Each structure stands twice: as C-alpha cells, then as structure tokens.
Amino acid sequence: MQRIYEYNKYAYRNKVTMINYIVMGLFAYSVFKIASAPQSTWTVIWILALVVSLYTLYNSFVRKSNPRLITISDDTICFASYGEISFETEKLSMFRVKVTTPNYQILVRIEDTNSRKGTFWVTYSFFNDKLDLISEFDFLERKVHPDSLRFRGRGKMGASRPKKRPALSCVLCDLDGTLLDNRGKISAADLLSIKKCKEKGIPFFLVTGRHHVFAKDICQKAGFEYPVCSSNGGHIYNYETGETLYLKTIEDGPSQKIYAYLNEHKLDFAAYTKEKVVFARKDGIFKYWKKQNENYKKENRFTPFFVDTDFDIKKEAVVKYFISFDYAKPQKGKTRREAVIDLEKVMNELFLPDELCISRSGPATLDINAAGVDKGAAFFILSRLYDFETEGALAMGDSCNDIGLLKAAGVAIAPAKAESGVKAIAAYISTTNNDSPLTHALTTLYPGIV
C-alpha cells in the first residue's frame, strides 16, 4: 500500500520557496558586498550572512530538508522537494521522530545500513492526512526501534500502519469563512466540484449556523438538492417540500432568562425561531442582513421581524440566539473578541451544560442553542436520515461551532484561515476561503472525484 502526503502548495510557496528566493538574494548580495569592500567594518557581518545563507541553501537544495511530498510504501520512504531522497525501510538502522507542538513540526532523522543519512523538517499541519502521516512515522520508528522508551506505556501506538481511507460517501460543509469567499459567494471552481459530486451520487449537505432563510438564495444558486442543516443543527429544513426534518428549541425557562439578560445589557442579537428571524435592533446585525437581502432573488428574500413589535418570548420558541459584537462600539478596555469571551463565561456560569449548548461562530459572535444541539449531533442525524457511511464523510469548517462536525466526520478539513483550535483537529489544511478550499481538498485527497 502506497500513501502520498503532500504539503499544501500555497503554504509551501510562501513558507519555503519564497524564503529560499530571499536567502539566494541575501547570498548574492553578501558576496557582492564582501568583494566590493573587503576591508569594510561590515565585512564580518556580511561573512556571517554568507555562511547562514549558504547553510540554508545547502539544507534546502542538497539535503532536501523541507520536503514537499512524502511517499511511503511497504518497502520505501521517499522525501521530495528539489529532487528526491529514498530509503528502503528494511535497511534503516535509525529512524527517530521528534514532534514540536508550538510550530506543528516534526523532526525526522534517518540513517540506513549504507550510512546514508537524512534530516527532514516536516511541518505536518500543512500536509494532507497529517494524523495518518504522524501514525506512519510512529509505525516506522517502532519498527526500527521496538524497545524505544517513547513507546513504553503507550499501548498500540505505532503498532500498525494507518488504514486506507474509505471511499467518499458524502460532503458536509460550513458556509461563512469556509465555502463562501469574502464577498459572500461560492467560487466557480467549488460550484463545479459540487456539481461533479452530485453527478457521482455523492450527497452534499450545508451545515451552517445561519437561519435557513439566510441560506436559501445560496442553496438555490448552487443547485443543492439536500436539506440544509441550519442554526448549528437545531433545524434541518427541506426547501423543496417546506418540511422540517428535525427541530430542537431552547426550553422556555432558559430562553426567557437569556432574552431578559440580552435586553437588560442592551446587546445586539437575533432570535432564530422555526420560521423567522427576530432582530433586537434596526442597526448592527439587521443592517448587515438587510444589505444581503437586497442581493437575493425576490422569491428568496426574507421578511424581517423585530423584538419590540413582532415577538413575544412567552409564546414563541427559540431555536438559537445569535449575539454579535461586530457592529457594536468596543467596550472600554476590551476588544470585541474579549467581550464575546466574557459573555460566553457569563452564560456558562448562569446555565448548566444540560440546559444550553454555547459556542463561538466567529471572533466576535456567540451562538446559543438547546443542550445537545451542535453540528456534530446534526451529522449523525443526517447519517441516519440518508444512510451514508460516517467514516467516508468529508466535513469542512473554520470556527469553534464546527469542531463537533469535524470530530464526527471521517475526514476533517479546515481552510487555511480557520481558527487554531479547528486546525488542530483537522486531518488536512486546505486553501483559504477565497481560493476554492473545497476543490483543493477534494483534488488532493480524492483524485478523480472532481
């Protein structure tokens, strides 16, 4: 079995290739300065720059220490960057792995019985299937050094190679910051990928924190046939039939308490019910969605409602509260991010975990759902409704409210600008939301699908 692990090409260009260009320029300039003024007081500095740049270029081009491609088969391991270095696994006399968590790097040191050596820095967070790659390294290290202290007391760690990835069974994707670019549109490449998935009979689900009225226009333009999983999984809705497949609202007691707190502290929020969105103000969140609404097709536009005229908390059940600090004036001595973190702490103090599910959907936004409602739970509801294999499911998201979904799916993908906690659990880091991240992930992980 051969497995190929590839460094994200955009990240490699920025973090390795561009650095090498800069170092080559520094090398040439150092040579020029030393040759033109050998007696200068700066000569020592330029000699030092020359040595450092020469060492860096030697590592990159001769030792190939920053691999772009790692290929592991049953009998060989190959590192490729500017050329290739291959080792036969049966002839390895040393294979040592050191993981450095802060910068997501692995130092791999190799030597074979012919005294061929290699030292490689693997920035695993930018490789596809990074967890499998780490498992492959663990397997090789344990095979070469079975008595290593690293494996004592760690059970089956490194005892076997990772299993082959199952066939793609479905795709589940977040919208904002993931499938949508900064203009709020799906790229032409990703639209084509969605179409090809559809042609191959692969179900495609949108799993979003938005209310379903906010996602209707996008779904229609993209040609989605499956129901949208809205409000972080609190409401699964079929646009074609108008049918609600799943709904879970916040219990009356906690809902009324949240509503009172948000009004008392004059926070900008929207309450998502089964049918409508109720805004607390006529600026802030509403102003943003009013502008979006104007760009929708007439038949896809929503009717706005307001707390002071169209809503009775004692009569209407709320699926989700959405609170935003994006449009509010920063509180004195606090950033917007700090303000939303403080509100999250307050909510966790006021309510028990079995009353609410609280998550951040952005740097300055907070989502409050009923207990047990999150995108991960919605994933398993969809799997039962549409009978797809969970291990073959690919999920992609960028924010904290996507973590449950990514943990539930067989293959977890994060866009390049996802939050750090999301990247930490992702098997693959794709491109940014402005660079067709879905297409890049599918092309890399499932060649031939798109």
Mind listing the pLDDT tens digit for each residue in 202-259? 999 999 999 999 999 999 988 888 999 999 999 999 999 999 999 999 999 999 999 9
Query: Which residues lie closer than 8 Å to 129 by C-beta, 6 or more apart?
Result: 3, 5, 162, 165, 427, 428, 445
Domain topology for 3-151: PH-domain like (2.30.29)
Residues of the chain within CATH 3.40.50.1000 domain(s) are 170-247+374-445
Residues of the chain within CATH 3.30.1240.10 domain(s) are 252-370
Does the pLDDT value for residue 302 go beyond 90? yes
Per residue in 101-115, pLDDT tens? Answer: 556 788 999 999 998
Mean pLDDT of 178-195: 94
Residues of the chain within CATH 2.30.29.30 domain(s) are 3-151
Per residue in 87-144, pLDDT tens? Answer: 999 999 999 988 775 567 889 999 999 989 999 999 887 887 777 888 889 889 988 9
Does the pLDDT value for residue 267 go beyond 90? yes
Mean pLDDT of 27-46: 90
**CATH architecture observed for domain 252-370:** 2-Layer Sandwich (3.30)
For residue 450, the surrounding DSSP H or E stretch is none
Strand pairing partners for 269?
323
CATH number of 170-247+374-445: 3.40.50.1000
Per residue in 384-415, pLDDT tens? Answer: 999 999 999 999 999 999 999 999 999 999 99
User: b/e map of 154-191 (b: 16 or more CB within 10 Å)?
Assistant: eeeebeebbeebeebbbbbbbbbbbbbbeeeebbebbb
**Is the backbone of residue 448 left (phi > 0), alpha (psi -120 to 50) or beta?**
left
Q: Which of 9, 26, 6, 29 is nearest to 17 (CA)?
A: 9
